[in-house]
Amino acid sequence: MFSERLRALRRGQNLTLDQLATALNQLFKPDKDHLNTAAQIGNWERGIRVPSYMEVRKLAEFFDVTMDYLAGKSERDEYDLDRLFLSGKELKFDQKTLTSDDRYAIYQLMNGYIHGRSRRTDEDDDNTPITHQESLELGLDNDKHH
């Protein structure tokens, strides 16, 4: 399970084995005798070798997942978008990095939606919630508007 999850995480971020090894070495700055290599990570992904506890911990921190997730014991942790958007972590959408202005605007939109949702929910006579859905024109079909 570890090898599949590691490969999926690496490929999900469009990283080569070399790029991942370089990123780990830059982030954690090991001494020259403990540098990560593409061959080492490739062996982990193929299940030929098993990384040490410290290596798994580094990978978990790099990919922002738990060690349990990497080991196959749990699914990916929940993410609190509120905290994620306000964190200093780089966020991407459609492979494009969001600027701090983008992050703030999207955060405000989500916050408004969540808080407005409670005002859009009524109850009928037997206290069963009735939700009123609103449509949102996303402008995907621009030909109709020109």
**Lowest mean pLDDT across 12-16, 36-40, 60-64, 103-107:** 103-107
Single pTM value for the model = 0.52
**Distance separating alpha carbons of residues 73 and 63, to the nearest angstrom:** 16
Domains, the chain, in order of start with CATH, read 2-71 (1.10.260.40), 78-124 (no CATH)
CA 43 to mean position of chain CA atoms: 25
For residue range 80-99, list pLDDT tens digits in order.
Answer: 677 777 777 788 888 888 88
For residue range 46-90, list pLDDT tens digits in order.
Answer: 999 999 999 999 999 999 888 888 888 766 556 667 777 777 778
Long-range contacts of 37-40 (CB under 8 A, 24+ apart): none
Instruction: Give the pLDDT of residue 145.
Output: 47
Q: What DSSP character marks residue 103?
A: H
What are the tokens at 50?
């098993």
